Amino acid sequence: MAINDYFLYILPEGVKTVQTVGHGTVYEGQSKLTLADLQEAVIGLQKNVVDHKWAGRKSFLVDNCLVFSPNVEDGSVVEIMVQGSLSWFPEGLGDIYKVGESLAKKVPVTFFLHNEMVLGTDSEKAFMAAMLARYEQKQVAFHVKYGLA
């Protein structure tokens, strides 16, 4: 996955963004969310899930279209980067929301786009609308480029 992707972040309660340096973000605090919690949530999708390495991190690849890549510090998940393929957009959004909903049963989480808060896990409809609005132009360009429009 590369330029034809979309990205968002899941930030668990107890962690806040301190600063952004280049393309990296510095976080402060810890959450009660663990790598095992994320793995359980992703496996709960009942789809093809493969352990994956992305940027040196243990990650989970779902149906070859979504990557859940956690940033773990001292056993605590401080942030989860989600990368999705536009070839599976907006279908992948439902799976992202389900993972967030599953995680929120253990620890409240918030969805972010490039350090701006999108919304929590209160409404799948609102989450989908926000993501569709943010990536509509990129999705249309993708479909035109690859003859899907």
**pLDDT per residue over 78-123, tens digit each?**
999 999 988 888 888 999 999 999 999 999 998 888 756 666 567 8
* CA pair distance 86, 142, nearest whole angstrom: 7
Query: Rounded to two decimals, what is the model's pTM?
Result: 0.86
* CA pair distance 112, 38, nearest whole angstrom: 17
